[in-house]
Amino acid sequence: MGPDQPRTSTVEKGAFCLARCTCGWIGPARRARSLARDDASVHTTDRHSSATNGTPPPGISSDQATGRHTQ
Ligand SMILES: [Zn+2]
């Protein structure tokens, strides 16, 4: 299973259908499967988006010891 594989699936519960994810997330019960899939799509984009445009990793520190004092 690649990183772009959908990790959500829809589960039918009686007359309702809800989406669930491998991370443990479960969407609200919907009357239509298409709505549950929409919930899964939103969840996947929101929580498992491959685009890493969130918080940048803390690796750049201004700890360079360039004690060059030109006077
Ligand atoms: Zn998830």
- Distance between Cα 57 and ligand 1 center (Å): 22
- Distance between Cα 68 and ligand 1 center (Å): 50
Residue 31 lies inside a defined structural domain of this protein:
yes
C-alpha separations of 65 from 5, 59, 60, 68, 69 in Å: 45, 16, 14, 9, 12
Residue 53 lies inside a defined structural domain of this protein:
no
Q: What percent of the chain has pLDDT over 90?
A: 56
The domain of 23 spans 8-47
The total of structural domains in the chain comes to 1
- Distance between Cα 41 and ligand 1 center (Å): 10
18 membership: H or E segment, kind and range: strand 16-21
Neighbours of ion ligand 1 (CB under 5 A): 21, 23, 25, 47
Residue 36 lies inside a defined structural domain of this protein:
yes
Residue 30 lies inside a defined structural domain of this protein:
yes
**40 close to 10: Cβ distance less than 8 angstroms:** yes
Residue 66 lies inside a defined structural domain of this protein:
no
Residue 54 lies inside a defined structural domain of this protein:
no
State yes or no: pLDDT of 49 exceeds 80: yes
Q: pLDDT, tens digit, for every residue of 6-31?
A: 699 999 999 999 999 999 999 999 99
Residue 2 lies inside a defined structural domain of this protein:
no
- Distance between Cα 43 and ligand 1 center (Å): 6
- Nearest-CA neighbor of 30 among 46, 48, 43, 47? 43
Residue 60 lies inside a defined structural domain of this protein:
no
Query: Whole-model pTM?
Result: 0.62
Q: What percent of the chain has pLDDT over 70?
A: 63
